[in-house]
Amino acid sequence: MKKQITLLLLSFLFVGMLSAQDRNCSTMDNLEYRKQLDPQLDARMQEIENQTRQYIIQNGTPKSISGNVITIPVVVHVVYRTSQENISDAQIQSQIDVLNEDFRRANADADNRWSQAVDTEIQFCLASIDPNGNPTTGITRKSTTRTSWGTNDAIKSASQGGVTAWDTSQYLNMWVGNIGSGILGYAQFPGGNASTDGVVMSPQYFGSSAKGSGFYLSAPFDLGRTTTHEVGHYLNLRHIWGDGNCNVDDFVADTPTSDAPNYGCNPTHVSCSSTDMVQNYMDYSDDGCMNLFTAGQKARMRAVLNAGGVRRSLALSDKCSATPPPPPTCDDGIQNGDETGVDCGGSSCAPCQSGCSENEVTLTITFDNYPEETSWSLVTDGGTTVASNGYSAGNPDGSTVTETLCLPDDCYTFVINDAYGDGICCSYGNGSYTLTGPDGVIKSGGSFGSSETTDFCLGSTPPPPPTCDDGIQNGDETGVDCGGSSCAPCQTGGTTVLHEGYFETGLDGWQDGGSDCFRYNGSRSFEGAYSIRLRDNSGTASAMTSETFDLRGFDQVEFDFYFYPNSMETGEDFWIRYFDGSSWTTVATYASGSSFTNGNFYNATVTLNSSQVNFASNAQFRVQCDASANQDQVYIDQVTITGIVGNTRTKADGVQLLRTGPPSAANGDTLITPTITRGDITVNLASFNLKSSYRVLNLLGQTVKEGTMKDGRLNVSELKTGVYLLEVQDEEETIIQKFVKQ
């Protein structure tokens, strides 16, 4: 009998252990899943992080109320299998109420334990206008036969039985459906694909039992804080322990360092030599324990919503208006969608009859996979911007927009930009654009770097030809008489800088040749942090190619650059090539052993003369590596191209040794600190992506530890005492360095 009682007690304890649940947020798991599908996600998130840091440097982390309250429209997609999962409108409204209380610090459980607690001045409303301009409750419902959705974004796809997002640049999309596996919710950080942008919650954790009865909710996560937590991720907040140990940060200065999530509610818990902020919404504590965001967290969230932030369009959205806007008309002066002067008051759009009394110019853009990187502007010769536009992640990948402009007679400069520096064709989608005027196509393309510029004139009377004494700089040339069929230099002399490439913000007009060319970040750059790395001998894939230049009218052109060679065997070389309008010619060769030695910085200058080569209107330059295919590299930086009139040389041709070794990296790019350790080591990952794979090998070449580097920190405390090799690798190269584990 005693044994039976003992077994019965154990059974009750076991059932109790199974029924107890810890908070389980799968935002980081979803992030890793999306990175596998999107190779550029890391880079975009790093750009957002850089912008966030700059915003905080400029604006600080003020606790005071500024009065600039941002209202975010919300649409809730309920995807249900059972009647319980089909949660009521009242339960949904209770969640919106909790969000507003938590983000505005109007929650009844707010206390003064943490002085850095603030009102974020962010609030939420159920959208009252749908994407078609019709009234809406801000709630959609869909029945499903699926028992669970997982964390691979299937619930966001109509083709998989879920619901397709509303325009994510205008609405915060929330999907409520059973995720399964005990997962409460997950969110998408800023920078991800527009079609999956938003947050997902299981229905029994969406809403608050404190605001009504009969709700389908499960304690201790029944007060709406799961959604508060996930919306924090959506607005760029990390878990307060940074998903690591004491050496990992959440990028917020006023949240104490923590070594792991906190469960339940123990506000006095200490880790990393300080008290954990257990009451923070971004911990894993129970709903009844959470009650604050900090000033630093407010600054991060506001950075993505304020001017320049990736979620700025969401902050400006008008989808919470009490009534939808009136339908567009011909005389409202508003550009309606992609058409100007369209009366859409009826069941279909009909063109207005006013027409364009001047010059009608049409710009058609087909996006690549990242519409939010595309923008354009149109500027008169006098410097006045007459039209411009930028696009958001809400534009579907591969979709097409048409902009119609009515322009007076004048000369214009059209510039199309790509923020990432890879154009709109063809690495990530087949985007293109066409600019059409009254006389036909003015310019079309899509394969460019950071930008492409086109000059054109409209009107029957062309402007008078430039002359030497008109005081006007003509294009890239000063004092050029273009009255004839070709340009001839005036005899005043002088130099004109045609191009400067520093690569700090992009490719600066250069085209990435392919797999053996990429924009590098690290100590092998001569100035700043970035340069262009070329390697091996895969033809134009090992090359960087410039934009086009009109070199007519110059006597000489000077090509000046800085470079750093690495691992180039004797005789292996790279070239400077020139396109004269019809063919490419090698105009300079630099070889290891004769022109340079590895591990040093050099400056080189090449001067071309009009008497020796043809200075064409569409001239180009190319830097191309011709080493063997075994990780031979040359890093190109600070490229300057100068046009010279009157044989005025600015620098002598040749190669000049500048300094030996990259700054602070005499032993290579990866520096281990310390090299003798009992636990943690820090690795300088400046030359790698945000995350790089690593392996730890013993001296027999056996792998004893491997994974993905996070923030340059690695714990090796579990290794036995001995000497090891750390191998750090990204998609471009591998670096190995020795360390000792005590």
Q: Same domain for 131 and 166?
A: yes
Q: Cβ–Cβ contacts within 10 Å for residue 283, how many?
A: 23
Decide which of 617, 640, 660 is a domain's last residue: 660
- When the pLDDT of each residue in the chain is averaged and rounded to a whole number, the result is 82
Burial environment of residue 380 by CB neighbours within 10 A (0 to 12, 13 to 18, 19 or more): middle
Whether the CB-CB separation of 455 and 413 falls below 8 Å is answered with: yes
Q: Same domain for 531 and 409?
A: no
**Which band of pLDDT confidence, cut at 50, 70 and 90, is reported for residue 314?**
very high
> What are the pLDDT digits (tens) for 253-298?
899 999 999 999 999 999 999 999 999 999 999 999 999 999 999 9
- Give the model's pLDDT for residue 711: 65
Instruction: Report the C-alpha gap between 425 and 445 in whole angstroms.
Output: 8
Lowest mean pLDDT among 280-289, 454-463, 694-703: 454-463
- Read off the CATH number of the domain in which 548 is found: 2.60.120.260
- Give the model's pLDDT for residue 648: 60
Q: Is the pLDDT of residue 248 over 50?
A: yes
> What percentage of the chain exceeds 70 in pLDDT?
81
The residue type at 161: G
Q: Same domain for 184 and 302?
A: yes
Q: Same domain for 654 and 677?
A: no
Decide which of 617, 637, 660 is a domain's last residue: 660
- Give the model's pLDDT for residue 394: 65
Q: Same domain for 133 and 220?
A: yes
- Give the model's pLDDT for residue 336: 40
Instruction: Report the C-alpha gap between 279 and 229 in whole angstroms.
Output: 12
Lowest mean pLDDT among 32-41, 362-371, 455-464, 491-500: 455-464
Q: Same domain for 687 and 655?
A: no
Question: Could you tell me if residue 476 is inside a domain?
Answer: no
- Give the model's pLDDT for residue 381: 77
Lowest mean pLDDT among 216-225, 265-274, 353-362: 353-362
Phi, psi of 390 (to 5 degrees): -135, 160
Rounded mean pLDDT, 76-105: 96
Tokens read off for 617 = 């209107």
Phi, psi of 8 (to 5 degrees): -65, -40
**Nearest CA-CA partner of 285 in 329, 340, 226:** 226
Exposure string for 594-631, b = 16+ CB within 10 A, e = fewer: ebbebbbbbbbbbbbebeeebbbeebbbbbbbbbeeee
Q: Same domain for 91 and 175?
A: yes
Identify the active-site residue in 230, 372, 373, 477. 230
Question: Could you tell me if residue 339 is inside a domain?
Answer: no
Whether the CB-CB separation of 193 and 38 falls below 8 Å is answered with: yes
The one-character DSSP state at 205 is: G
Tokens read off for 51 = 């912008």
The residue type at 247: N
Rounded mean pLDDT, 135-149: 94
Name the E strands within 188-334.
199-201, 270-271, 274-275
- Give the model's pLDDT for residue 534: 92
- Give the model's pLDDT for residue 371: 86
Among all chains, which residue has been given the structure tokens 């630093």? Answer: 296
Decide which of 607, 634, 660 is a domain's last residue: 660
Question: Could you tell me if residue 286 is inside a domain?
Answer: no
Angle at 325 between CA 320 and CA 329, to 5 degrees: 160
Higher pLDDT, 329 or 261: 261
Q: Same domain for 94 and 136?
A: yes
Question: Could you tell me if residue 34 is inside a domain?
Answer: yes
> How many structural domains are present in the chain?
4
- Read off the CATH number of the domain in which 727 is found: 2.60.40.10
Q: Same domain for 608 and 729?
A: no
- Read off the CATH number of the domain in which 419 is found: 2.60.40
Q: Same domain for 430 and 563?
A: no
Question: Could you tell me if residue 243 is inside a domain?
Answer: no
Angle at 301 between CA 21 and CA 683, to 5 degrees: 80
- Give the model's pLDDT for residue 34: 86
> What are the pLDDT digits (tens) for 566-583?
889 998 999 999 999 888
Q: Is the pLDDT of residue 340 over 50?
A: no
The DSSP bridge pattern shows strands 122-126 and 734-741 to be unpaired
Rounded mean pLDDT, 523-552: 90
- Give the model's pLDDT for residue 64: 62
**Which band of pLDDT confidence, cut at 50, 70 and 90, is reported for residue 493?**
low
Q: Is the pLDDT of residue 646 over 90?
A: no
> What are the pLDDT digits (tens) for 701-716?
678 888 877 666 788 8
> What are the pLDDT digits (tens) for 576-610?
999 998 889 999 999 999 999 988 999 999 999 99
**Which band of pLDDT confidence, cut at 50, 70 and 90, is reported for residue 8?**
very low
The DSSP bridge pattern shows strands 693-698 and 703-708 to be antiparallel
Instruction: Report the C-alpha gap between 320 and 312 in whole angstroms.
Output: 16
- Read off the CATH number of the domain in which 146 is found: 3.40.390.10
Q: Same domain for 525 and 645?
A: yes
Question: Could you tell me if residue 541 is inside a domain?
Answer: yes
Question: Could you tell me if residue 654 is inside a domain?
Answer: yes
Higher pLDDT, 453 or 650: 453
Max mean pLDDT range (18-22, 90-94, 394-398): 90-94
- Give the model's pLDDT for residue 334: 37
User: How many helical (H) and strand (E) elements, i.e. helices and strands, does the chain have?
Assistant: 7, 46
Q: Is the pLDDT of residue 344 over 50?
A: no
The one-character DSSP state at 596 is: B
**Which band of pLDDT confidence, cut at 50, 70 and 90, is reported for residue 725?**
confident
**Which band of pLDDT confidence, cut at 50, 70 and 90, is reported for residue 357?**
low
Q: Same domain for 300 and 183?
A: yes
Residue 720 structural domain: 672-741
Question: Could you tell me if residue 366 is inside a domain?
Answer: yes
> What are the pLDDT digits (tens) for 43-83?
899 989 988 988 888 877 776 667 789 999 999 999 999 99
Q: Is-catalytic flag, 230?
A: yes
Contacts of 273 (CB under 8 A, 6+ apart): none
